[in-house]
Structure 1
């Protein structure tokens, strides 16, 4: 890192390390159970070990990192049953967001959701599961944002961060994108119809399908 780009020390350095580490875990650059060695990370991100340690404590609070007594830290492994439990919580929170989005969305936002649905359909037709997975993630995030339910949004962001590995695995499972596409298009249709009950029901149906796929 060029000298002028160094993040400095203290809170600025910790935030720099926190952002970089979080993004690396969410991209899948750091695998579940991978050891996180403070000296190596400090050198990689040009910060002190103290900054790395503080960032790891924050990531442990977010559920992304596991700190093991006398053994340091590692990327936390989320079991299938825990992923199911998290998805059950998502059903309530994302259903709420979809219902609110159906009422709050502007015409421009409704068009944006339709465009996302069309892009998802194209990705499935073209056999591009990772493109579809990214659009899937974007759709859910956009619905949360449109809802304006900030408490639910913050809770969901924390929950969803723990599901990254499982999301990638499901995206690559043969036939899964085709099945989930129909569920996502139903969510979009209900929100565009400004039907909050149907929107919530569509989200619950979709996430029940996710749970079935996780357990398969």
Structure 2
């Protein structure tokens, strides 16, 4: 793999390695339980081993990497039960964001949610689960953004990063996108109606469906 251009040492190098490693894990380029060899990563990203080690420590704190004594680091495998527990936490935080968005979103922002809803409906009709999965993530991100609840947003970004493998697996189940679509359209409708209680309830109902699907 070719080296990537960039600073080889110092804080900038660490941040470069951290961003690229995180992206590789989130995009599924690095599989759960895959060993992360410092020498190989240093060569790949054109930084020192010290920069890689510092980036791995940060990724461990984010729950994406686990360091095993005397055996180095590997991509952390999130079990189904952990994924359920994380989703239970998401219910509270995403419910809060939806309720806030129902009050705070501008008319233009509500139109953006409608547009995403239409695109998600088309993706399901066209049988494009990965497109739907990507739009799904965009919708949740927009609701978080429109809520203005920065603390909840930061917590959710960390929680959601740990669910990448499970998200891909759910997206590929034949029946899942249609169930999920109905739940998301209910969320959009409640936010558009500027009904915070209904918006929160819709998010909780959707994530209860995710938990049920994870346990199947």
Q: TM-score range by the shorter chain?
A: over 0.9
Alpha-carbon distance in structure 2 between the residues aligned to 1:179 and 1:121: 11
1:17 aligns with 2:17: yes
Alpha-carbon distance in structure 1 between the residues aligned to 2:19 and 2:201: 35
Summarize the alignment of residues 34-183 of structure 1 with structure 2, pairs less than 5 Å apart: 34-183=34-183
Q: For residues 94-147 of structure 1, give each alpha carbon's deviation from its aligned partner in whole angstroms, at most 9, with x where no partner exists.
A: 000000000000000000000000000000000000000000000001100000
Alpha-carbon distance in structure 1 between the residues aligned to 2:105 and 2:115: 14
User: Displacement of 1:8 after TM fit?
Assistant: 3.5
Alpha-carbon distance in structure 1 between the residues aligned to 2:199 and 2:59: 33
User: Displacement of 1:86 after TM fit?
Assistant: 0.2
Alpha-carbon distance in structure 2 between the residues aligned to 1:198 and 1:11: 45
User: Displacement of 1:6 after TM fit?
Assistant: 2.1
Alpha-carbon distance in structure 2 between the residues aligned to 1:139 and 1:131: 12
Give the secondary structure class of the aligned counterpart of 1:66: strand
In structure 1, list runs of 5 or more residues that go unmatched. Answer: none
Q: Cα RMSD over matched residues?
A: 1.0
Give the secondary structure class of the aligned counterpart of 1:29: coil
Instruction: State the number of aligned residues.
Output: 215
Give the secondary structure class of the aligned counterpart of 2:74: strand
User: Displacement of 1:203 after TM fit?
Assistant: 0.1
Alpha-carbon distance in structure 2 between the residues aligned to 1:26 and 1:191: 29
User: Displacement of 1:174 after TM fit?
Assistant: 1.1
User: Displacement of 1:2 after TM fit?
Assistant: 7.8
Alpha-carbon distance in structure 2 between the residues aligned to 1:8 and 1:35: 22
Alpha-carbon distance in structure 1 between the residues aligned to 2:132 and 2:209: 17
